[in-house]
Amino acid sequence: MNMGCRSRSSKIRISSWYKTGYEINTAAAPAYSITADSVALTKYLPSTTNIVKIMNHINSHSFLTFDAHRVSSPCFVIDEVKIEQNLQILQNIEKKSGAKVLIALKAFSMKSMAPLICKYLTGCCASGVYEAKFAFDHFQGKQLGSNHREIHTYSPAFKDDDLEQLLLISDHIVFNSCRQWLRFKDRALQAQHARPALQFGLRINPMLSTGATELYDPCAKGSRLGITLDEFTLNFPSPDLLDGISGLHFHTLCEQGYDDLELTLTAFEQQFASYLPQLQWLNLGGGHLITAPDYDRGTLVKTLKRLQHQYHLQAYIEPGEAIAINSGVLVAEVLDIVSNHTNIAIIDASATCHMPDTLEMPYRANVFTATANTPVEIAATCGDKPFSYRLGGQTCLAGDVMGDYSFKHPLAIGQRLMFDDMSHYTMVKTTTFNGMPLPSIAVWNSVTDNLEVVKQFHYHDFFSRLG
Ligand SMILES: Cc1ncc(COP(=O)(O)O)c(C=O)c1O
């Protein structure tokens, strides 16, 4: 589980709208010739009303024209065009506000996307040594030229050995507690002496819950994430005691809009503003769904500018989901259909191994079918269309179930299904429980239609990690 995130609240919202399924006919137009979501869909759809309906029901729009038989199953397919569109939005925030945007690798860590991400963002935020090393190797490697990409590392607690490595490769290291900072302070400042660009920060906890789900709420009572004001003032009764600390960090949101950031900032400034004038940066964490169409980006830009101006510091944000949202699907295949009170389709993808958030959150992913020259069908709520099925995986877990869906026609053995919006917090969380093979990973370009399988997993990947 990543630290403090993954509510998929937007998906729940979409699922609750999900009363009826819609179909579009791809046979009427050449497949895969899309350039932008709305343009693409007008080529395939009979009416504008249907376009709106479809776009309200499926997040990864470009995949409505993707033939799921083009890859082996199961397979994550990522549309690099959508990723680039998200990155452009985030870069725009950077340019307009002067704040720096980092990708939170915990959400999306595709090596093959690193060059694209480097074109747009300032750097990466890492959750520990592995992600920091990954950032060091792939986001600021020599092959990317001389552009320095920043690496910011935060962990709820650092181990001595890990910190030694992080001191060599991170730009910012953020400590989660006063105790950890005071314990490692001498060593940290020594390393900073050798590498002056290295800076240290503290994660604070403004204790203002704005999210919907406690599992993903770093501000919940009893949270271990970040230093509360009481703890902070106990350890640093006056700002000058913050010697060695260059910035503060907070992360309190998950899939949230600007209004919740505003509330959080008010709480944060009420509690911690007196410490800011002597600091060089403020990191506002992740959870900002900036690339969602209704996010108030204009006000975000104003606020970031205001913070930087008022406190003379550099602002950072570190979104993860916003980079990869609506950019990918998980393709799966129907293996068998059994019956027990209801029809149950067993597929070669697993909720617990390949889409764990669907069980953890839980939420119900949108499902659709698309193959060349056949109508695209968006599965509806169970009972709304003539043929209802529970979709389940191959593992022993009785609850390895994606949900109940209905279709216009009966599902067939070998039929392909696509699970919507599976790029972020999905590929990074897969497991091989029950010896389940991991899905392959393919990169698709929805403009050129180029498709490349960038990773395939084998038996070796299963046994080699279990000792
Ligand atoms: C410290 C921190 N930063 C950034 C993020 C990224 O959040 P999101 O992917 O929701 O933008 C997370 C998510 O858990 C986090 O814990």
How many folded domains does the chain comprise? Answer: 2
pLDDT of 155 reads 98
Residues 347 and 366 in one domain: yes
* β-strand pairing of 199-203 with 247-249: parallel
Residues 317 and 334 in one domain: no
**Neighbouring C-beta atoms of residue 222, cutoff 10 Å:** 5
Q: Which of 174, 251, 284, 428 gets mutated to test ligand 1 (max ligand atoms within 8 A of its CB)?
A: 251
Residues 207 and 122 in one domain: yes
φ, ψ at 250 (rounded to 5°): -135, 150
Q: Which of 2, 124, 224, 255 gets mutated to test ligand 1 (max ligand atoms within 8 A of its CB)?
A: 2
Average pLDDT over residues 165-187: 97
Residues 151 and 286 in one domain: yes
Q: Which of 5, 210, 321 gets mutated to test ligand 1 (max ligand atoms within 8 A of its CB)?
A: 5
Element (H, E) at 453: strand 451-455
pLDDT of 221 reads 95
pLDDT of 141 reads 56
Q: Could you tell me if residue 3 is inside a domain? A: no
Environment class of 427 (CB within 10 Å of its CB; exposed 0-12, middle 13-18, buried 19+): buried
* β-strand pairing of 375-378 with 281-283: unpaired
For residues 64 and 55, what is the distance between their CA atoms, to the nearest angstrom?
Answer: 10
pLDDT of 83 reads 98
pLDDT of 58 reads 83
CA of 156 to the centre of ligand 1 (A): 13
Residues 134 and 280 in one domain: yes
Please check the confidence at residue 16 and state whether its pLDDT lies above 80: no
- Give, using CA atoms, the residue closest to atom 12 of ligand 1: 286
Residues 24 and 167 in one domain: no
CA of 330 to the centre of ligand 1 (A): 22
Q: Could you tell me if residue 90 is inside a domain? A: no
The shares of helix, strand and coil residues in the chain, as percent rounded to the nearest 5, are 40, 20, 40
Ligand 1, residue 322: give the atom nearest the CA: 11
Pocket of ligand 1 from Cβ distances under 6 Å = 2-5, 104, 106-107, 125, 154, 251, 254, 285-287, 318-322
Strand ranges (DSSP E) for 215-374? 247-249, 281-283, 314-317, 328-340, 342-347, 367-369
> No. of H helices and E strands in the chain?
15, 20
375 pLDDT band, cuts 50/70/90, is: confident
Residues 265 and 117 in one domain: yes
Q: Which amino acid is at 390?
A: R
Of 324, 354, 375, which closes a domain? 324
Q: Could you tell me if residue 240 is inside a domain? A: yes
CA of 22 to the centre of ligand 1 (A): 34
DSSP 384: S
CA of 336 to the centre of ligand 1 (A): 38
Residues 249 and 130 in one domain: yes
Ligand 1, residue 2: give the atom nearest the CA: 14
CA of 104 to the centre of ligand 1 (A): 6
pLDDT of 33 reads 31
From the list 440, 333, 339, 459, the residue with the least C-alpha distance to 394 is 333
CA of 83 to the centre of ligand 1 (A): 18
Residues 372 and 227 in one domain: no
φ, ψ at 388 (rounded to 5°): -100, 145
Q: Could you tell me if residue 1 is inside a domain? A: no
CA of 429 to the centre of ligand 1 (A): 14
- Domain boundaries, position 445: 9-79+328-463
- Give, using CA atoms, the residue closest to atom 10 of ligand 1: 287
Residues 300 and 167 in one domain: yes
240 pLDDT band, cuts 50/70/90, is: confident
CA of 321 to the centre of ligand 1 (A): 8
Q: Using one digit for the tens of pLDDT, what is the confidence trace for 192-225?
A: 999 999 999 999 999 999 988 888 999 999 999 9
Contact yes or no for 235/182 (Cβ under 8 A): yes
The mean pLDDT value of the chain amounts to: 89
Q: Could you tell me if residue 87 is inside a domain? A: no
Q: Omega before 277 cis (within 30°)?
A: no
Cα pseudo-dihedral 365, 372, 74, 331, rounded to 10: -10
Please check the confidence at residue 387 and state whether its pLDDT lies above 50: yes
51 pLDDT band, cuts 50/70/90, is: low
Residues 190 and 332 in one domain: no
Element (H, E) at 417: strand 416-420
State the pTM of this model. 0.90
Place of tokens 């050129």: 448
For residues 215 and 325, what is the distance between their CA atoms, to the nearest angstrom?
Answer: 21
Which three-class secondary structure state does DSSP give residue 297? Answer: helix
Average pLDDT over residues 424-451: 97
Distances (CA, A) of 380 to 144, 258, 292, 368: 45, 31, 24, 9
Of 271, 303, 324, which closes a domain? 324
Average pLDDT over residues 332-359: 97
- Give, using CA atoms, the residue closest to atom 5 of ligand 1: 286
Q: Could you tell me if residue 92 is inside a domain? A: no
- Give, using CA atoms, the residue closest to atom 6 of ligand 1: 286
- The CATH number assigned to the domain holding 233 equals 3.20.20.10
For residues 138 and 114, what is the distance between their CA atoms, to the nearest angstrom?
Answer: 6
For residues 90 and 92, what is the distance between their CA atoms, to the nearest angstrom?
Answer: 5
Element (H, E) at 391: strand 387-392
Q: Could you tell me if residue 72 is inside a domain? A: yes
CA of 193 to the centre of ligand 1 (A): 30
Q: Could you tell me if residue 292 is inside a domain? A: yes
pLDDT of 239 reads 85
Percent of the residues in the chain that have a pLDDT greater than 90, as a whole number: 80
Of 270, 291, 324, which closes a domain? 324
pLDDT of 28 reads 37
Contact yes or no for 326/59 (Cβ under 8 A): yes
Please check the confidence at residue 4 and state whether its pLDDT lies above 60: no
Please check the confidence at residue 329 and state whether its pLDDT lies above 90: yes
Contact yes or no for 276/306 (Cβ under 8 A): no
- The CATH number assigned to the domain holding 50 equals 2.40.37.10
Q: Using one digit for the tens of pLDDT, what is the confidence trace for 124-171?
A: 999 999 999 999 999 975 444 557 899 999 999 999 999 999 999 999
Distances (CA, A) of 246 to 11, 13, 122, 230: 37, 40, 18, 20
CA of 282 to the centre of ligand 1 (A): 15
Average pLDDT over residues 7-16: 34
Residues 146 and 175 in one domain: yes
Q: Using one digit for the tens of pLDDT, what is the confidence trace for 279-325?
A: 999 999 999 999 999 999 999 999 999 999 999 999 999 999 999 99
pLDDT of 27 reads 40
Average pLDDT over residues 422-438: 97
Query: How far from chain centre, in Å, is Cα 171?
Result: 22
Please check the confidence at residue 30 and state whether its pLDDT lies above 70: no
- Give, using CA atoms, the residue closest to atom 7 of ligand 1: 286
